[in-house]
């Protein structure tokens, strides 16, 4: 019985540090790097789409840090990748973006190919 009591007391003393350690690991695993610290090398399909977005979407009054329409700042590569299907829907399928007119067939093809490849920064 003495051994069981000793083990129980030791476990009670360790439970708090173990919980704190687990919480720290959980938080660290859930955090995302900012775009500046991202180690993902942009792939050719993403770079082609990024050039379209830079010219047509990440412009003053639209999807920039100072005026992120719809809460989307397309100056950030991670935001672009996270919204790949949304970008395709608005710019290619519906043709509602950019608001001043539609994209060229070539630009729409770049977006479509990128999304079909996975819509990631590395694609």
Output the tens digit of pLDDT for each of the chain's 123 residues: 677 667 777 767 767 666 566 555 566 555 444 444 456 799 999 999 999 998 888 777 788 777 777 788 888 999 999 999 999 999 999 988 988 888 999 999 999 999 999 999 999
User: Residue 16: how many CB atoms within 10 A of its CB?
Assistant: 9
Helix (H) or strand (E) holding 78: helix 77-82
Give the whole-angstrom CA distance, residue 21 versus residue 117: 39
Please report the pLDDT score of residue 35 as a whole number: 43
Dihedral-angle region of residue 120 (phi above 0 means left; psi in -120 to 50 means alpha; beta otherwise): beta
Please report the pLDDT score of residue 11 as a whole number: 62
DSSP three-state, residue 97? coil
For 108, the token pair is 């729409």
Please report the pLDDT score of residue 1 as a whole number: 67
Please report the pLDDT score of residue 68 as a whole number: 75
Q: Are 73 and 63 in contact (CB under 8 A)?
A: yes
């Amino acid at each position: 019985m003495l051994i069981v009591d000793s083990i129980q007391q030791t476990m009670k003393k360790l439970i708090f540090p173990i919980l704190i350690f687990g919480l720290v690991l959980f938080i660290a695993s859930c955090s995302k790097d900012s775009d500046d610290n991202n180690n993902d090398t942009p792939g050719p399909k993403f770079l082609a789409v990024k050039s379209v977005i830079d010219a047509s979407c990440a412009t003053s009054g639209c999807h920039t840090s100072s005026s992120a329409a719809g809460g989307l700042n397309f100056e950030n590569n991670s935001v672009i990748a996270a919204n790949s299907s949304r970008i395709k829907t608005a710019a290619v399928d519906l043709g509602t973006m950019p608001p001043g007119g539609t994209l060229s067939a070539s630009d729409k093809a770049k977006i479509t190919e990128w999304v079909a490849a996975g819509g990631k920064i590395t694609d």
